[in-house]
Amino acid sequence: MNEGIQGAFLIGLLAATLRVATPLLFATVGEVITERSGVLNLGIEGIMFLGAFVGFAVAYHASAAGLTAYLWLGLAGAIGAGLVMGALMGFLSVSLGVNQHVAGLGITLLCTGLSLFGFRVIFGESAVLPSITPFGQFSMVGDLPVLGPILRQYALTYIAFLLLIPAAWQLLYRTSFGLQIRAVGENPEAADAAGVSVYRTRYAAILMGAALMAVGGAFLSLAQLGAFSPGIIAGRGWVCIALVIFARWDPVRSVVGALLFGSVFALQLRLQTLGMALPFELFLALPYLVTILALALAGRNAAYPGAYLQPYRRE
């Protein structure tokens, strides 16, 4: 390879890394906020899937109706769907206090079934996947050499890195609401005694988290692909569950994990298209293995929220 091709390869890789990391960031931050309140939401995989589907279905029909803001309407639809599922998760895990992990898996199964059912009902069984014109990409630094093509990204990618992360950090560590979230996640009895509503705070965290998960899913259908397919999420939600642990429940550190996974994913994809005979699946399994290893190394010191997985009931 000469230098020019190497440079282009690297630029393409960096740009793809940011792109791959975007949906992971949205969903991971959503899961971080949820888990910080003491609730593990395993509905993440399904809520991302539902977000991708509802986002696409709404955008498709809005576009057919001639609305120019169809993509943003799709995004709003996805958020709405996420909120509905968040409310369901809240009802089950907060109001009823059932097993969080079983409830979460149930929501993933429900969202997957509903989306596939809905897709078949709305779009039938055509051989050609229906598609829309997706979000466009732009560069904040114009046509600068090197940086220009790397930063040619979707608006949602800019939002994820420049707005979402600082906002999530600000929310968790610099607002009284964030303090309440962390308090009910660490010690709900004490938070309750201090006058914080454990139920309301957990509901709010779950709802916020689910909306972000849905946006993460909708990014794939509305920006990256402009279409919806059954394999659109393909375990990305589970990657986020791993990233939350890898980030030790911190939104800023989740950027590192998302970028690392993004680069590994983008790299294996590129090497595959170059025709290299690599067991690329082993690359894809890396984030899971690294997370399990990280957990094993942290051992008893793993920074789980104090009331992780524990329903709260006022007796």
Q: Which residues bind another protein (CB under 8 A)?
A: 40, 42, 88, 92, 96-99, 101-103, 105-107, 109-110, 112-114, 116-117, 120-121, 235, 238-239, 241-242, 245, 279, 281-282, 284-285, 288-289, 291-292, 295-296, 299-300, 302, 304, 308-309
Q: What's the min distance (Å) between Cβ of 257 and another protein?
A: 14
Q: What's the min distance (Å) between Cβ of 230 and another protein?
A: 10
Q: What's the min distance (Å) between Cβ of 14 and another protein?
A: 25
Residue placing its CB nearer to another protein in the complex, 73 or 240: 240
Residue placing its CB nearer to another protein in the complex, 89 or 151: 89
Interatomic CA distance for residues 240 and 245, integer angstroms: 9
Q: What is the 3-state secondary structure (H, E, C) of 230-264?
A: CCCCCCHHHHHHHHHHHCCCCHHHHHHHHHHHHHH
What is the token pair recorded at 14? 């960096």
**List of E strands, 49-207:** 137-139, 152-154
Interatomic CA distance for residues 284 and 282, integer angstroms: 5
- b/e code 97-109 from CB counts within 10 Å (16+ = b): eeebeebbebbbe
Handedness of CA 285, 207, 89, 176 (dihedral sign): positive
Residue placing its CB nearer to another protein in the complex, 98 or 155: 98
Q: What's the min distance (Å) between Cβ of 312 and another protein?
A: 14
Residue placing its CB nearer to another protein in the complex, 221 or 291: 291
Enter the DSSP assignment of 131: B
Handedness of CA 289, 294, 300, 302 (dihedral sign): negative
124-131 own/partner pairs: CB under 8 Å, 24+ apart: 129/227, 129/228, 129/229, 130/60, 130/227, 130/228, 131/226, 131/227
Residue placing its CB nearer to another protein in the complex, 163 or 298: 298
Residue placing its CB nearer to another protein in the complex, 11 or 260: 260
SS3 153: strand
Task: For residue 22, count other CB atoms closer than 10 A to its CB.
Answer: 27
Give the helix/strand (H/E) hosting 39: none
End-to-end CA distance of the chain: 69
Residue with tokens 């050609």: 128
What is the token pair recorded at 80? 């709405």
Q: What's the min distance (Å) between Cβ of 152 and another protein?
A: 31
Residue placing its CB nearer to another protein in the complex, 162 or 292: 292
Residue placing its CB nearer to another protein in the complex, 62 or 107: 107
Enter the DSSP assignment of 227: B
What is the token pair recorded at 240? 């986020």
Residue placing its CB nearer to another protein in the complex, 148 or 306: 306
Q: What's the min distance (Å) between Cβ of 114 and another protein?
A: 6
What is the token pair recorded at 53? 């589907």
Q: What's the min distance (Å) between Cβ of 267 and another protein?
A: 16
Q: What's the min distance (Å) between Cβ of 225 and another protein?
A: 21
